[in-house]
Chain A
């Protein structure tokens, strides 16, 4: 069936002020992203609408919103030609500051709990060489691109419903560091992810892996950590 191009897009935005306008008709242009919609609304219809963005190219991770219920980067999510309605909401599971802006503190609190930085092993005076085709690099490389946008946190049915859970982003970070042979904090991290609010809280909803704008697989990282926790590492 041929796609019918729409002249305007009806955008419904979740607003925090009860009296604020929520529905906007936006003239479309090609190509158009969700961020373009928001900028057009702000420019032409309602200056007070609040949303975050910075790089506009999917690198900084600040523009995450829910588009028709699913977390996505506003700047890289296209509004397809045949789309008539779009519903925009702030990320789930995080306190709303205003309109589409959320307070990321709970996300960062979980992130901090896995010691999210490399703790160098003693005696590593020379730069370590990790061969491009080594098993270690094969494990780590696909999970390095996290931009901490929080899309996985929002789409996780456990994190977003406010339960105690380290969450997909922090666990992916933990997996990367546990797999790193230069790291000295492996045992400490494996202990952290093995607690009751760690990897066992995951219910394999796969929301994280489905929405990650960088194509990461947090559910795969969680499965790896579940195995490693029992064997003491990779």
Chain B
């Protein structure tokens, strides 16, 4: 494997380790604050009831928003570097970007798409909360729509991204 590809894989590994580390920090702080990761039977039972208990979804959306935001930013930093190789040598750029067509990288890209979809749609929901003065129930319904759209668009887009590797 060419050195430039090894370098990229090392960078990507660092990005993924950073995301896992950041998620651990977010969840550790969640454990200290209200709600948090107390997925006990009592919590799940209340969560299953309609009404205000389900507002707890917003908390998990907040954690997920932070984690996906960090993941997108960290990959963007790496991506700026890998695209910059074109300035050094177009051949080096082509060599490095051959990696993007491999199956593991395509799976990663599908995951990235899901993260971008959730972060973008949830960000728009937060803007809508202010602009449309959305209360707890309206915001929760919007969040369900965000989750549904993320799953549907993520699955469709992911299939398009991953399919060539298995064709």
Chain A residues proximal to chain B, CB less than 8 Å: 66-71, 82-87, 91-93, 154-157, 160-161, 203-207, 209-211, 217, 219-220, 223, 226-227
Q: Using Cβ atoms and an 8 Å threshold, which residues of chain A touch B53?
A: 210
Q: Known contacts A69-B35, A220-B135: does B58 contact A86 (CB below 8 Å)?
A: no
Closest 8 CB pairs of A and B: A69-B38, A155-B34, A160-B33, A210-B55, A68-B42, A206-B58, A68-B43, A206-B55
Using a CB–CB cutoff of 8 Å, the interface residues on chain B facing chain A are 29-30, 32-38, 40-43, 45-46, 52-53, 55-56, 58-59, 62-63, 126, 129-130, 133, 135-136, 139-140
Residues in A neighbouring B129, C-beta threshold 8 A? 204, 223
- CB proximity of B53 to chain A, nearest CB, Å: 7
Can you list 8 residue pairs at the A/B interface with Cβ under 8 Å? Answer: A70-B38, A87-B40, A156-B34, A160-B32, A160-B33, A209-B135, A210-B53, A211-B52
Name which residue of chain B comes closest to A159, CB basis: B33
For chains A and B in complex, what number of residue pairs have CB atoms within 8 angstroms? 106
From A70, A206, A207, B43 is in contact (CB under 8 Å) with: A70
Interface SS of chain A: mixed
In contact, A69 and B43 (Cβ under 8 angstroms): yes
Option from A156, A204, A217 in Cβ contact (under 8 Å) with B126: A204
Most buried by A among B42, B55, B129: B42
| A204: nearest chain-B partner, CB-CB | B129
**Bound-complex Cα distance A186 to B35 (A):** 34
Contacts of B59 in A (CB 8 A): 157, 205-207
- Measured between C-beta atoms, what is the minimum distance from B87 to chain A in Å? 39
Tell me whether A226 and B136 are in contact in the complex, defined as CB-CB below 8 angstroms, given that A161-B29, A207-B35 are known contacts: no
Whether B32 and A207, one on each chain, are in contact in the complex, defined by CB atoms closer than 8 angstroms, is no
Besides A209-B136, A210-B53, A211-B34, 12 other A-B contacts (C-beta < 8 A): A69-B35, A69-B40, A70-B34, A70-B56, A155-B33, A204-B58, A204-B62, A207-B34, A207-B35, A207-B55, A219-B136, A227-B133
